[in-house]
Structure 1
Amino acid sequence: MTATNKVALVTGAGSGIGLATARRLLEHGYSVVLTGRRQAPLDALADEARQRGADALAVACDVSDAAGVAALFDAIRQRYGRLDVLFNNAGRGGPPVEIDELSVEDWRAVVDINLTGVFLCTRAAFGLMKTQTPRGGRIINNGSISAHAPRPNSIAYTSTKHAITGLTKSVSLDGRKYDICCGQIDIGNAATEMAERMARGVPQANGEIAIEPLMDVELVADAVLHMANLPLSANVQFMTIMASKMPFVGRG
């Protein structure tokens, strides 16, 4: 299935899951707006897309900055006049320390990107989607296995990912009257730079250090594409995609 004349925005598109998903959307006919903090990798992907005859727009943006997000959506309006899919993918972790050792600054840094950034992008997308013609669109939030069960010493990351579940449900409800669908994909151990430590061994709930299996990040891109390609009469509210043997079910 391919998309024609559909526009998608991928945050955190410069690496990892965002990069893989942006490529997959481009391969399937989407015009893709690429955003992230670093301009260089976005430009490289946009150049790659143009060489293949695809349409990409690279706009550097810190999603935690309200003015930056406003400028990003101004660029989308000027270039395309609409947005059909938003993939809220940008995120970060915090220092792996116990709660009493986590600084307020580190807490806020994680909340600013993982929660406030998703709010700002969703807020702007919602406003555009409900007024564009044809009306409506789809918002896909990158949750995490940590939206269900924490890892040791992950209070900031886990708290934000639990919050994303509430945000997803609220947007799904409030978007109904505007034909705006909102769903969440919870990802476990995709093989990216962020997950490299899993292959070296990470703390488990019982205090042990264990190596965890990884899955190909391209499988995540395929899953997001499936969600994006659905008609607005259907929605994947929640999807979990994970390395089959990772310690999640029964974790702890």
Structure 2
Amino acid sequence: MSDLKVAVVTGAGSGIGRAVSHALAAAGYEVLLAGRRADALEETRSLGGAHGARLHPVVTDVSDEASVNALFAEVSKRFGRLDVLFNNAGRGGPPVPIEDLPVDIWKDIVNINLTGMFLCAQAAIRIMKNQKPQGGRIINNGSISAHAPRPFSIGYTSTKHAVTGLTKSISLDTRHYNIACTQIDIGNAATPMTERMTKGVPQPDGTTRVEPRMDVDHVAQMVAQIVSYPLETNVQFVTIMATTMPFVGRG
């Protein structure tokens, strides 16, 4: 069992989470698939091909402390250790002016995108600091919205900026436990969530334009590369994006 490698991926039922789950399983990890929809998690598992046996669905609401604790209790019970957390679950909001965003939607975005990441990181740290060998790696999905907003995205943008503070605090406060923390900022990966970009999305100058996307598997390959490093090496921040998408100079 000395070669056992264990990962948790949140938001594993689709898109980036699904692609990263498959990449980690292919790299030899036992991967616990966390998400709110059992059918989506099972689809991720069934699409895992030869590595499907390493994919383990666990229905989880990352915004609920009891649900998160149950997920990580399952990690400890089933495998006895945790090497990687890919903190990926998140949601956006309706593209409306700030003054029209319902407060309940704001709170839900914060609960999933920020509190959910904190709860998962907290639970992961508790395992990582007490296991032998000690340590592990936490990778937070920041998004390029951690740097520059899209129009009418105050909930998503605010939480993704906050993820940067979360990442830095985890890096500082847990390095003596041999825990490395990364923020990966992803732009326009080709997933069902970004399909609308092929028809045009609002720009800061008031126009609408089609935006290029990149293969989501390239994101998964980046995560697999990061986790391949020994824990004495950390990728603190990394941005991966479609080369010609409007990000640098946005606005």
For the superposition of Structure 1 and Structure 2, which TM-score range results when normalised by the shorter chain? over 0.9
1:74 counterpart residue number: 73
Deviations 1:143-182 (A, max 9, x none): 0110000000000000000000000000001111100000
CA contact (8 A) 1:9 1:85 kept: yes
Contact 2:128/2:179 (<8 A) preserved: yes
Equivalent residue number for residue 217 of structure 2: 218
Counterpart of 1:172 in structure 2 is 171
Partner Cα separation in structure 1 for residue 205 and residue 52 of structure 2:
51
Stretch deviating more after TM superposition (167-176 or 51-60): 51-60
What is the alpha-carbon root mean square deviation over aligned residues? 1.4
Identity, in percent, stands at 61
User: Which residue number in structure 1 is paired with residue 121 of structure 2?
Assistant: 122
Q: Which runs of 4+ in 1 moved over 6 A?
A: none
Note the 1:93-108 alignment, pairs <5 A.
93-108=92-107
Aligned residue for 1:17? Answer: 16
2:153 match: 154
1:38 equivalent in structure 2: 37
Q: Distance in 1 between matches of 2:245 and 2:171?
A: 29
The code of the aligned residue for 2:29 comes to Y
SS in 1 for 2:130: coil
In 1, Cα distance between the equivalents of 2:100 and 2:206? 18
Once residues 214 and 174 of structure 1 are traced to their aligned partners in structure 2, the CA distance between those partners, rounded to angstroms, is: 36
Q: 1: CA distance between counterparts of 2:54 and 2:173? A: 31
Task: Give the structure-2-normalised TM-score.
Answer: 0.97
| Structure 1 residues 67 and 208: CA distance shift in structure 2, 3 A | same
Aligned to 1:182: 181
State how far apart, in whole Å, the 2-side matches of 1:195 and 1:240 are: 17
Partner SS, residue 58 of structure 2: strand
Conserved 8 A contact 1:27-1:54: no
Q: Is the 8 A contact 1:50 1:56 kept in 2?
A: no
3-state SS, counterpart of residue 238 of structure 2: strand
Q: Which structure 2 residue ranges, 5 or more long, are not aligned?
A: none
User: What number of residue pairs does the alignment pair up?
Assistant: 250
Q: State the alpha-carbon separation in 1 of the partners of residues 87 and 94 from structure 2.
A: 22
Using the alignment, how far apart are the partners of 1:87 and 1:237 within structure 2? 14
- Aligned partners of 1:201, 1:121: CA distance in 2, in Å? 34
Q: Does 1:132 align with 2:131?
A: yes
Q: Distance in 1 between matches of 2:30 and 2:3?
A: 9
Question: Letter of the aligned partner of 2:122 in structure 1?
Answer: R
1:231 aligns with 2:230: yes
Shift of 1:229: 1.3
- TM-score in terms of structure 1 length: 0.96
SS of structure 2 residue aligned to 1:175: helix
**TM-fit CA distance, 1:56:** 2.2
- 2:248 matched to 1:249? yes
Q: What is the Cα deviation at residue 50 of structure 1?
A: 7.7
> 1:5 Cα shift?
1.3
CA distance in 2, matches of 1:53, 1:139: 23
Q: Is the 8 A contact 2:46 2:52 kept in 1?
A: no
Answer whether contact 1:115 1:164 (CA < 8 A) is retained.
yes
Residue 191 of structure 1: aligned partner: 190
Q: Answer yes or no: is the 8 Å Cα contact 1:4–1:30 preserved in 2.
A: no
Distance in 1 (alpha carbons) for counterparts of 2:129 and 2:15: 30
Structure 1 residues 53 and 36 mapped into 2: Cα distance closer, same or farther (>3 Å)?
closer
**Structure 1: segments with no counterpart, 5+ residues:** none
CA contact (8 A) 1:4 1:29 kept: no
Distance in 1, matches of 2:163 and 2:3, equals 30
Could you say what secondary structure the match of 1:130 adopts?
A: helix
**8 A contact 2:15–2:191 mirrored in 1:** yes
Report the Cα offset of residue 43 of structure 1: 2.3
